[in-house]
Amino acid sequence: MIKRIGIAALMAIFACGVASAQSGQTVYIGGAKYTVYTVAKGDTLYSLSKRYGVTTEELMQANPTLAQGLKAGENIKIPQKGVANAKSEKKKAKAAKKLFRNHYVRKGDTLYSIARIYGISMATLTADNPDVDPAHLAIGQMLYIRRSEIGTVSEEPEITPTTPEQTPEQSTPTTPTQPEEPSVVTPQLTTPPEREQGSVTTPEAEDIVADFQFRTLLPGERAEVALMLPLTAGERRQTNFVDFYQGFLLAADHLRQQGYQSHIHLYNTAHSDEKVAQIIDSGELERCNIIVGPVYEDTLIPVVRYAERHSIPVVSPLANLTQATGGNLFQMSPRPESKYDKIKSLFDGNKRVVVISGENNDADFEDEVKQMLGDMPYTTHQYIYEHPSIIEKREKARAEGANVPPSPSDLSPLMESSDDTLFIILAGTEVETDRILAALASAKISLTARSIKVPPYVVFGNNKWGRYRNIDRALFFSNNVIMLSTYHTDRTQRATRDFEAEYVKAFGAMPSLYTYRGYDAAMVFIRSLYGGMDSTLTGQRFVPLQTPYSFTQDENSKVRINGEWVRINYNSNFTITTE
């Protein structure tokens, strides 16, 4: 108890001292010497550790609040290395020579390729080099290679950047943080601000080839996989696609352990017609068994046409295709036409429907809702936020007999019905959505407290809600929210937690939705090369982690399109179920 009180007091003293100290000042706490630093926009734990010559672990130990991430303007303390520490480091370095050999990073090296060179596991390499940023290996940087483990692992998946571009500069890992409430996020594919132009032209739709005989790999044969991603846009890194790449690598490693060998040829398309044309003209794609990407439809089409001539399957991992055609093309994003198959029961006429509008509605979602409702009868309500003090005045006036309408913020009247109810919220902003959900939950509590029975109800939500960071997610459960998504991960599930733990260990960052889609792309399509893609992918359902995939061929475009949307149910007992 005394020790805990002492630590708490020390932290309080530090908080007071640093709050008044200026950036760059030296402070002494418990006999240790620290530099006060004010976090600037763009800082990362990795960049600060390199700047001040400390490890990220030492920064975390000195500043426990950094587990929640760096915040611009926040003062943190950075341990200062003294003479004693320098001597200790020299002793450690001397001892390390006996246990490790040194590898100096060369152009094109990645952690995966280095692990393969020495025949060691990724887990060993990352454990022995905890301060190495796997996404920013610098030429000449020294890595420790554990001598006793050299040659213990063979046939690591080979990762070779074969584009005319350099090995992509990857995103800066961030410190793993405690996940928020389970969230549903749809990877959004948006066009980068810069796009280089070239001479690639789009073939006419009449050139569609419907049927293909894809080559089936034999057991033990290595799959040659082309991965075409816009890793850069202009001079900027595209971190989402670096995440996709790293998820793909992790899947390739898992498949290797199952006996499926692969050689990944990485190409940086930079969303450039010219670069895609260069890759095609090089002839290197001809040797590949499958091509994943490009991710944008305009640069995808010439690759599909080229692959047709060589009977190579092509996977579009993110885009909802509107122009690309061909029987050798697979689309991982679910078809828009099947979006509402899993919520037809909500619109079967057995529920009273109430549509709640905000001051600024989401126009796209509103159009979708109108199409689903068709000729069905429904009630509308215009929600207008009022401060609680104004609502209180209204209620007081009504209690005194004044003819005052109820507040538009009070949704209690909408619940005074004996019918099961479907609420649809059209609000297009995070703040207003949060307020309406809170008003529904409050109305239920208020009516129940007055012994008024509230009939069962659900809220059909916009899948964009999953990307809102500041919304109270407890409201999803209390209001029985139902949403549709192209992708779902539930961090309460063991499979997701295990994946995240392995990814953090390998790459030093939490996975994003692009990471999961990259993982799924490799798991579904590399493995399918060995069973015959037509027989393996047609009519079957795949669930690499949590999101399902099943492919059917479109009659017009001949593209094999995933038909699986995910329905997410937030239940009042604070559980999530998916359909």
Give the pLDDT score at 303.
Answer: 94
Residues 6+ apart with CB under 8 A from 555: none
Domain hosting 279: range is: 205-334+508-561
CA distance 552 to 540: 9
Q: Answer yes or no: is pLDDT of 550 > 80.
A: yes
Record the tokens describing residue 222, joined without a space. 């290595």
Q: Tell me, yes or no, whether 343 and 471 share the same domain.
A: yes
- What does the DSSP 8-state code read for residue 545? S
> In the block, which residue shows the tokens 């407290």?
449
Q: Tell me, yes or no, whether 342 and 378 share the same domain.
A: yes
Q: Tell me, yes or no, whether 268 and 342 share the same domain.
A: no
Q: Answer yes or no: is pLDDT of 346 > 80.
A: yes
Beta bridge partners of 386: none
Are residues 424 and 353 in contact, defined by beta-carbon separation less than 8 angstroms? yes
Average of per-residue pLDDT across 138-164: 62
Give per-residue pLDDT as tens, 178-208. Answer: 323 333 333 445 444 445 444 444 444 445 5
Percent of the chain with pLDDT over 70: 79
Q: What is the CATH number of the domain that holds 439?
A: 3.40.50
Q: What is the CATH number of the domain that holds 271?
A: 3.40.50.2300
- What does the DSSP 8-state code read for residue 377? -
Residue 419 lies in a domain: yes
Exposure of 423 by Cβ count < 10 A (0-12 exposed, 13-18 middle, 19+ buried)? buried
Residue 498 lies in a domain: no
Q: How many helices (DSSP H) and strands (DSSP E) are in the chain? A: 17, 22
Residue 198 lies in a domain: no
Q: Tell me, yes or no, whether 272 and 408 share the same domain.
A: no
3-state secondary structure 256-318: HHCCCCEEEEEEECCCCHHHHHHHHHCCHHHHCCEEECCCCHHHHHHHHHHHHHCCCCEEECC
Q: Measured between alpha carbons, how far is residue 82 from residues 60, 79, 86, 335 in Å? A: 19, 9, 6, 61
Q: Tell me, yes or no, whether 343 and 452 share the same domain.
A: yes
CA distance 163 to 167: 8
Give the pLDDT score at 31.
Answer: 60
Give per-residue pLDDT as tens, 61-108. Answer: 888 777 677 888 888 888 886 544 545 556 656 666 678 888 888 877
Give the chain's mean pLDDT.
Answer: 77
Average of per-residue pLDDT across 159-177: 37
CA distance 334 to 487: 9
Give per-residue pLDDT as tens, 285-297. Answer: 999 999 999 999 8
Listed residue (260, 310, 326, 270) closest to 294, CA to CA: 270
How many domains, the chain?
4
Residues 6+ apart with CB under 8 A from 530: 216, 217, 218, 219, 221, 223, 260
367: pLDDT confidence band, cut at 50, 70 and 90?
Answer: confident
User: How far from chain centre, in Å, is Cα 568?
Assistant: 17
Domain stops at, among 81, 101, 133: 81
Average of per-residue pLDDT across 310-338: 87
CA distance 557 to 328: 11
Residue 179 lies in a domain: no
532 versus 443: the higher-pLDDT residue is 443
Beta bridge partners of 568: 483, 578
Are residues 67 and 178 in contact, defined by beta-carbon separation less than 8 angstroms? yes
Residues 6+ apart with CB under 8 A from 531: 216
Q: Answer yes or no: is pLDDT of 418 > 50.
A: yes
Are residues 272 and 299 in contact, defined by beta-carbon separation less than 8 angstroms? yes
> In the block, which residue shows the tokens 């990220």?
56
CA distance 563 to 341: 10
Residue 273 lies in a domain: yes
Tell me the chain's radius of gyration from C-alpha atoms: 28
Its sign, for the CA torsion 55, 56, 57, 59, is: positive
Give per-residue pLDDT as tens, 246-278. Answer: 999 999 999 999 999 999 999 999 888 899 999
Average of per-residue pLDDT across 300-319: 91
Q: Tell me, yes or no, whether 216 and 312 share the same domain.
A: yes
Residue 108 lies in a domain: yes
Residue 429 lies in a domain: yes
172 versus 565: the higher-pLDDT residue is 565
Listed residue (512, 148, 557) closest to 329, CA to CA: 557
Give the pLDDT score at 521.
Answer: 94
Name the residue type at position 102: N
Give the pLDDT score at 14.
Answer: 40
With residue 446 as reference, give the H or E element that holds it: helix 430-449
Q: Answer yes or no: is pLDDT of 483 > 80.
A: yes
CA distance 62 to 7: 12
Give the pLDDT score at 249.
Answer: 92
Listed residue (98, 90, 79) closest to 30, CA to CA: 79
CA distance 464 to 109: 38
Domain stops at, among 156, 188, 214: 156
Give the pLDDT score at 144.
Answer: 85
Q: Tell me, yes or no, whether 479 and 512 share the same domain.
A: no
Are residues 360 and 429 in contact, defined by beta-carbon separation less than 8 angstroms? yes
Exposure of 368 by Cβ count < 10 A (0-12 exposed, 13-18 middle, 19+ buried)? middle
User: How far from chain centre, in Å, is Cα 178?
Assistant: 15
CA distance 577 to 579: 7
129 versus 168: the higher-pLDDT residue is 129
Q: Answer yes or no: is pLDDT of 169 > 60.
A: no
CA distance 331 to 71: 39
Percent of the chain with pLDDT over 90: 18
Domain stops at, among 28, 49, 81: 81
CA distance 460 to 423: 6
Q: Tell me, yes or no, whether 345 and 472 share the same domain.
A: yes
Q: Measured between alpha carbons, how far is residue 53 from residues 23, 214, 267 in Å? A: 17, 53, 35
Are residues 160 and 266 in contact, defined by beta-carbon separation less than 8 angstroms? yes
Q: Tell me, yes or no, whether 270 and 322 share the same domain.
A: yes
Give the pLDDT score at 205.
Answer: 42
Residues 6+ apart with CB under 8 A from 551: 330, 537, 538, 560, 561, 562, 563
Give the pLDDT score at 49.
Answer: 80
CA distance 318 to 230: 12
Polymer length of the chain? 579
Give the pLDDT score at 55.
Answer: 82
Residue 237 lies in a domain: yes
Are residues 421 and 390 in contact, defined by beta-carbon separation less than 8 angstroms? no
Are residues 481 and 459 in contact, defined by beta-carbon separation less than 8 angstroms? yes
Give the pLDDT score at 82.
Answer: 52
Q: What is the CATH number of the domain that holds 19?
A: 3.10.350.10
Q: Tell me, yes or no, whether 460 and 530 share the same domain.
A: no
Q: Tell me, yes or no, whether 127 and 222 share the same domain.
A: no
Record the tokens describing residue 132, joined without a space. 């190495």
489 versus 344: the higher-pLDDT residue is 344
268 versus 8: the higher-pLDDT residue is 268
Residues 6+ apart with CB under 8 A from 461: 425, 476, 481, 482, 483
Give per-residue pLDDT as tens, 503-540. Answer: 888 888 888 889 999 999 999 999 999 887 766 677 78
Q: Tell me, yes or no, whether 327 and 264 share the same domain.
A: yes
Lowest mean pLDDT among 80-89, 207-216, 384-393, 472-481: 80-89
